[in-house]
Amino acid sequence: MKRIWKGLLSLLLLMIIGAGALAAYGYMEMQPVKGAGQPVQLTISPGTGTASIAKLLEDQGLIKNSFMFKSYLKWKSQGSRFQAGVYEMQPGLTYDEIIQKLNSGDVVKAEMIRFTIPEGYTVKQMADRLAEAGYVDPEVFLDLAKEAEGIEGAVLAYVPAPAELNYRLEGYLFPETYELEKGSTEADIIARMLQETEKRIKSIPDFERKLEARGLDFNQLMTVASLVEREVVADSERALVAGVIYNRIAKDMKLEIDATVQYLLDKPKERLLYKDLQSVDSPYNTYMYKGLPPGPIAAPSLKSIEAALEPEASDYLFYVTKKDGSGEHLFAKTYAEHLQNIKKSKATAK
């Protein structure tokens, strides 16, 4: 009997020693990997399971034992909130630190490009600025702006594609400061700018109702807004100039807006001459043709879009820029008053 008890005690002792050794082994396997080492970058694709993530961590030398890591996740009820992405981890992290990174999506920040498109820019000016920064091939950018082939965006449903348009996307690439991932294509950049236009339009209260009340389609509205953008410097005059444009259209008058001629020239001129006004036969030339141009001539600001949507009522049909450096205008109801304003403007020239 004594011999049996001794055997049982020996077996129990061996079991205790074995359990202790196993616990010690498990504890050691769960300890952070020693050594500073270089940061390790690993990519976790969408839909990757915890078993595959554990194996990836082990293969990259960030943990010692994938089985122990999976067991720890199960014990802690973790793993369901892991986020996909590219991670950078330093060897020596604890299990909890690794889990926290994966839960929070603490991914490597992508290298970004940053650029600003000023209000009133044409697509040609945009292409030149972006090409100068090394972000686009200007020819590719302009080809996409011309036809919008392969470009996606909800706003495109409202943008016509008539043959007389110089660029289908002229006026629809919103002027703003942008940040995109380095390596973004010309199509990526254009799509992002179209998204911004849609966002800004949606920010205008009751936009659809106001547009319907004006009796315009979206392209006509953006065309008026682009004219306002290129003609006006002072914000206080935007709605008033928009009103003058509508007044002239209502009276079947030519708009005779210099900016539409400047748009057609290879290089804008500081001062247009009469021969310039008649030099280009184009539906964009408002000195030759009545009504609005077939499309926008530049990228309007939100203020100009709002002015075109809700113009200031007046009887004015003419305006001339003051020569005093203010950028403001003198407005007139008749051509005779307009001629007097031209004289006043010249008299205040600096």
Q: Note down pLDDT in tens along the chain; length 350 residues.
A: 555 655 555 555 555 555 454 445 455 666 777 766 688 888 999 999 999 999 999 999 899 899 989 999 999 999 999 999 889 898 889 999 999 999 999 888 888 999 999 999 999 999 999 999 999 999 999 999 998 888 887 888 888 877 788 999 999 999 999 999 999 999 999 999 999 999 999 999 999 999 999 999 999 999 999 999 999 999 999 999 999 999 999 999 999 999 999 898 877 766 776 777 777 889 999 999 999 999 999 999 999 999 999 999 999 999 999 888 888 899 999 999 999 999 988 887 76
Does residue 55 sit in the same domain as residue 135? no
- Domain assignment present for residue 9? The answer is no
* pLDDT of the residue at 109: 81
Count of structural domains within the chain = 3
Q: Are residues 234 and 306 in the same domain?
A: yes
Report if residue 70 sits inside a domain.
Answer: yes
Do residues 260 and 227 touch, judged by C-beta distance below 8 A?
A: yes
Residue 27 is predicted with a pLDDT of: 53
Q: What is the pLDDT of residue 13?
A: 55
The answer to the question of residue 2 being in a domain is: no
Indicate if 195 and 122 belong to the same structural domain: yes
Give a yes or no: residue 345 inside a domain: no
Helix residue ranges per DSSP H, the chain = 2-30, 50-59, 66-76, 95-104, 123-132, 138-147, 186-202, 207-214, 218-231, 238-250, 258-264, 274-277, 302-309, 335-347
Whole-angstrom Cα distance, residue 74 to residue 71?
Answer: 5
- How far lies 3's CA from each of 6, 10, 12, 74, in Å? 5, 10, 14, 43
**Confidence (pLDDT) at 8:** 52
pLDDT of residue 14: 52
Of 109, 137, 167, the one marking the end of a domain is 109
Whether residue 66 is found in the same domain as residue 119: no
Q: Show which of 202, 226, 249 is a domain's final residue.
A: 202
pLDDT of 209: 94
Give the per-residue pLDDT at 22: 45
Residue 132 falls inside a structural domain: yes
Residue 229 domain-assigned (yes or no):
yes
Residue 116 contacts by C-beta under 8 Å, 6 or more apart in sequence?
176, 177, 178
Asked whether residue 273 is assigned to any structural domain, the reply reads yes
Give the largest CA-CA distance in the chain.
131
Of the three residues 160, 179, 202, the one that is the final residue of a domain is: 202
Q: What separation, in Å, do the N-terminal and C-terminal C-alpha atoms of the chain show?
A: 122
Q: Are residues 196 and 249 in the same domain?
A: no
- CATH code, domain with 67: 3.30.1490.480
Query: CB-based burial of residue 246 (10 Å sphere; 0-12 exposed, 13-18 middle, 19+ buried)?
Result: middle
Six-digit token string for 164: 């007389």
Burial environment of residue 237 by CB neighbours within 10 A (0 to 12, 13 to 18, 19 or more)? buried
Q: Which phi and psi (to 5°) does residue 193 adopt?
A: -70, -35
Residue 164: what pLDDT? Answer: 81
Q: Is residue 287 part of a domain?
A: yes
Domain boundaries, position 222: 215-314
- Indicate whether 40 and 97 sit together in one domain: yes
The neighbouring-strand residues paired with 40 are: 89
DSSP state of 32: P
99 and 86 in one domain? yes
What pTM, to 2 d.p., does this model score? Answer: 0.76
As beta bridge partners, residue 320 has 330
Nearest to 244 by CA among 119, 331, 181: 331
Amino acid 215: pLDDT? 92
